Amino acid sequence: MRDVLLVACGGSLGALARYGAGLAAAQWLGKGFPWGTLVVNVVGCFLMGIVLELLADLEAQSPGAMTPTIKLQLALWHKGVAIGFLGALTTFSTFGADTLRELQGGLPLVAVANVAANVVLSLLAVWGGIALMQALD
């Protein structure tokens, strides 16, 4: 139950941050380009890199040193920040982390396939949703 609450709280804050960033970007940079989306994607990916390193450091603790405090920190950073906050701020951060993990794991073809599949299938899905709704009109 704790993990669900961490994801929910983090997600709420991430969604509000995304909304606020979109409004601020439109006001400061104009509406001629989707600046808000770009900003949250880049910032979210940067923050995901920081969180992944923090998680790696926490997980590197020896089993005997894994105190309840460290376990709580792991849950907070993983569930509350990575999944909740950054997941609501931008799923692009998870996409970036997944792709980088494949590259670092020596699987460049999987990384390229992930990029291609996400971009192409997502664009097709948006087009398909629009086409469906227009057909129903």
> What is the overall mean pLDDT for the chain?
90
32, part of any domain? yes
For 24-77, the DSSP string reads HHHHHH-SSS-HHHHHHHHHHHHHHHHHHHHHHHHHTS-GGG--HHHHHHHHII
117, part of any domain? no
Count of domains observed in the chain:
1
73, part of any domain? yes
pTM: 0.75
125, part of any domain? no
Residue 89 confidence class, pLDDT cut points 50, 70, 90: very high
22, part of any domain? yes
pLDDT in tens, 32-78: 888 888 889 888 889 988 988 888 888 887 777 888 888 888 899 99
86, part of any domain? yes
47, part of any domain? yes
